[in-house]
Amino acid sequence: MPDFVAGLLENLLTILVTVVLAIPAAIRAGTPLLYGTLGEVYAERSGILNLGMEGMMIMGAVSGFAAAQTTGSAALGILTAALVGGLFALIHAFASITLRVNQVVSGLALTMLGLGISSLMGKQFVGQPLAARLQPLEIPVLSNLPIVGELFFQFDLMVYLSIVLVPVLWFFLYKTRLGITLRSVGENPAAADALGVDVTFVRYAAVVFGGMMAGIGGSYLSISYAPAWIEGMTAGAGWIVVALTIFAMWDPSRALLGAYLFGGVRVLQFRLQPLGISPNLLNMLPYLLTILVLWLSSDQAAKRRIGAPAALMTAYAREER
Amino acid sequence: MTSAKPEHTLAVALRGIVKRFPGVTANDRANLEVRRGEIHALLGENGAGKTSLMNVLYGIYHPDEGEIWVKGRRVTIHSPHDAITLGIGMIHQQFRLVQTHTVLENVILGLRERFFFPEQSARPRILALAEKYGLKVDPDARIWQLSAGEQQRVEILKALYRGVEILIMDEPTSMLTPGEALELLHILRRMTAEGLTVIFITHKLEEVMEVSDRVTVMRAGKSIATLETAQTNVRELAQLMVGRDVLFRLEKKAVTPGAPVLKVENLNVVSDKGLPAVVNLSLEVRAGEILGIAGVSGNGQRELVEAIAGLRPVSGGKILFQGEDVTQTPPRMRIERGIGFVPGERWMALIPSMSVAENMILKNYARPPIGRKVFLDAEAVATHADTLIREYAISTPNRQTPIKRLSGGNIQRALLAREMTERPALLLVAQPTSGLDVGATETIWNLLLEERARGAAVLLISDDLKEAMALSDRLAVLFEGQIMGEFTAQTMDLEKIGLMMAGALRQPTAEPTAGEPA
């Protein structure tokens, strides 16, 4: 143990440099997580837990790649991924909102289904490099700055888009009429219903939106990050998204922080390995952090402010008695 | 409203409404006519179909048959949204407010307000409405920070903001202190003076007499009669409501209290939220006496009984049972020593989907003759259940019926039967008749008085002041976890009790009463 500590201290500077240099990579690795988390935050804010995140993301990855490869357009690929993700989420919406089945079961089924279909669909694309790549977006002045420009302004459109979405979705959630409606449906659907809000519609919309975001997040992996189709390439990203949603306390702005943090952890797994830090140790960090956040927020008063939507995982039926 | 003639003076007319649920007919050709600008009481026992009839009017339920007329026009109401458009508002018994949102956000929810920053355009209108009707409430407060009375004002504001003309209120006073109830009455009067119509659902006869202009009595899903309040009386209404004469014959025999069974000394208990719920509370209950605890719910009643039953840790003070300190004794041991517990939330003590027989042995399953080593004696279980069903007149198809299928009154009777058959020295009872009709209430009350006559010490927690006053030998008023004052059956004073419940009055010192040691 003392050897390990001594080694660690010796390498402290190296570690520090490694961490800073890992920032751009962390942002890249965090981007699919960010898309997914923003989507899941919205779905859960409406009261529907979607554990099918992994399935929706991988469906986005495979369909996005397929569309981009066959049409030669990355944009069409992303669009297709969004549609497929949304369509996939519709299955969960139908099961959990209309049929009112257990949301955990339905979500898990979606994940299994997605993993299966994607590997079947993707067989023909395995090993193909993507022809239609996304190019880094040149931002005047900023991209040419020394160091800073290289670290922070060499990303493609999808990264910037996800960053722009954060304040937009935050503003929508807290400062608009529909945002208040969405939050109310997740907190107390009976109250919203009694005021003439169409609870079913709001929940469908939120879940489908969540699926579309998951699809885009998945397509980022196959169109920009890899860029290729690899079977099972989401590698648990969907599960991290579910944890991240809790970590972010159902807030889009904290989702950004969390996504990059968790993305960074994923990157550092590989970069810190040569320095004697076990990747397994870092691998469990996202989950450990989530448990920590849950613990800190377990206090009743904190729950009211930043806790889970009160009606999360509860189906709503008006005539039930 | 004096002269009643043409149709257009009617705000609402419901004709021949039928609403069926699987196995139950909630409304059976029910009729209701409400005039504009009146306060109309809808009176009936629990399960008489009052709420479901109003849910039909508000578009929550779709009637199987019948016509709905609003302001002289026949209408079809598909959803609450349609009802709101017609100027109908409804305040449910359980408030439909989003706890984590502010008052303002709750008021504007679901409206076609400005898309961005809708709260900015809403604020002046809310303040103006609050001013006009005397509804004091802070628009930026979060709902969970508000008292029940304040939350109700938010509900009223919500309705007014939507331009409500016909306001339905379901049991509006059930959560309020007597003072708050009086204030509500003034608000309602102000509203009808402005031309609004109010329909309120209640099962309290006194309330009908105090508040309403007219009253419609419902029984078993049917509307029985509509009367001018001024031309009727409590006796007649009770008779219509129950379908027979109710006298509330209470067999309250004179019992001389014996030795103290329960002594609580400087008890402190914290709530689930970690806040002090019971503060330095001391009390004593003797054999053969009922000590009632009155108070608005949420003032520490739940924490107090749970602490005595051993279900909640005590943060300070002592609980003495028959002279022995049981503060740290686990619940099972307390049961064995003779503490019975009927919690306010019935499903805390019964398992809904298990049979009557199984529920009846939840406390004595481990002991002979029911339990023998690892096995249950099926025959003993059956005999035990049948005995209780017979002795306590529990109405159930048979002992195998899942207990959740029984009516509320019978479920409560079964629960009391299980507790009473153990012949506990101390019986803790919370809200024994909440949700029960007049007939069932009568039997439960008599069962509790039987326990008292047998010599049990009974600690009775009740939100229903009438019940607490009728049964108790001594009555203590609880406010924010402290006893504000204590009365004997002779000294009970409704006005003083009301003030104490609101925390506005406190007896200077714990008045020595008959049962208290010097």
Contact B142 A192 (CB under 8 A): no
pLDDT for A55 equals: 97
Confidence bin at A305 (pLDDT 50/70/90): low
pLDDT tens digits, A18-55: 778 888 999 999 999 999 999 999 999 999 999 999 99
> How many angstroms away from the CA of B119 is the closest CA of chain A?
8
Three-state SS for B292?
Answer: strand
Contact A176 B61 (CB under 8 A): no
Query: In this structure, what is the dihedral angle of CA atoms B341, B346, B351, B352, given to the nearest 10 degrees?
Result: 160
Sheet holding B276-286, edge to edge: B276-286, B260-270, B316-321, B324-325
- Best mutation site among B64, B92, B100, B116 for testing chain A: the one with the most A CBs within 10 Å? B100
Question: Quick one: B281 and B236 in the same domain?
Answer: no
pLDDT at residue A313 above 80? yes
Q: Which residues of B touch A (CB under 8 A)?
A: 21, 58, 60-62, 79-81, 84, 90, 92, 96-101, 105-106, 108-118, 142, 144, 158, 162, 272-274
pLDDT for B366 equals: 82
Indicate the residue type of B330.
Answer: P
Answer whether A145's CB lies under 8 Å from A153's CB: yes
Quick check: is B253 in a domain?
no
Q: Which two tokens stand for residue B334?
A: 């307390």
pLDDT tens, per residue, chain B with 518 residues: 444 444 468 999 999 999 987 767 889 999 999 999 999 999 987 778 898 999 999 999 999 999 999 999 999 999 999 999 999 999 998 889 998 899 999 998 878 777 787 888 889 999 999 999 888 889 999 998 888 888 999 999 999 999 999 999 998 887 777 778 888 988 999 999 999 999 999 878 888 888 899 999 998 889 999 999 999 988 888 888 877 665 556 777 788 889 999 999 999 999 877 788 999 999 999 999 999 999 887 889 999 999 999 999 999 999 999 999 999 999 999 999 999 999 988 888 999 889 999 999 998 888 888 888 788 889 999 999 999 999 888 888 889 989 988 877 789 889 999 999 989 999 999 999 877 777 778 888 999 999 999 999 999 999 888 889 889 999 999 998 999 999 998 888 888 888 888 788 888 754 444 444 43
Question: What are the residue ranges of helices labelled H in A139-236?
Answer: 148-152, 157-175, 177-187, 189-194, 199-220
Q: Which two tokens stand for residue B457?
A: 């010490």
Three-state SS for A22?
Answer: coil
Task: Identify the architecture of domain A28-313 in CATH.
Answer: Orthogonal Bundle (1.10)
Quick check: is B247 in a domain?
no
Compute the distance between CA of residue A34 and CA of residue A16 in angstroms, rounded to an integer: 25
Quick check: is B198 in a domain?
yes
- Chain B hits for A310, CB-CB cut-off 8 Å, are 99-100
CATH code, domain with B325: 3.40.50.300
> How many angstroms away from the CA of A5 is the closest CA of chain B?
41
Chain A, 193-222: which have a CB under 8 Å from a chain B CB? 193-198
Question: Quick one: B447 and B488 in the same domain?
Answer: yes
- Please name which of B315, B307, B278 lies closest in space to residue B295, comparing C-alpha atoms: B278
Place of tokens 């984590």: B100
Question: Quick one: B39 and B128 in the same domain?
Answer: yes
**Among the partner residues B21, B81, B108, nearest to A196 by beta-carbon distance:** B81
Question: Quick one: B34 and B90 in the same domain?
Answer: yes
pLDDT for A241 equals: 94
Last residue of a domain, one of B216, B242, B268: B242
Q: Complex ipTM, two decimals?
A: 0.78
Quick check: is B370 in a domain?
no
pLDDT at residue A257 above 80? yes
Closest-CA residue of B relative to A303 is: B100
Domain chopping of chain A, boundaries = 28-313
Phi, psi for residue B333 in degrees, rounded to 5? -65, -35
Question: Quick one: B66 and B204 in the same domain?
Answer: yes
- Chain A hits for B118, CB-CB cut-off 8 Å, are 176-177, 180
Contact B98 A176 (CB under 8 A): no
Question: Quick one: B207 and B281 in the same domain?
Answer: no
Closest-CA residue of B relative to A302 is: B273
On whether the pTM is more than 0.80, the answer is: no
- Domain span including residue B189: 10-242
Question: Quick one: B328 and B182 in the same domain?
Answer: no
Quick check: is B42 in a domain?
yes
Answer whether B492's CB lies under 8 Å from B475's CB: yes
Quick check: is B138 in a domain?
yes
Q: How many domains does chain B have?
A: 2
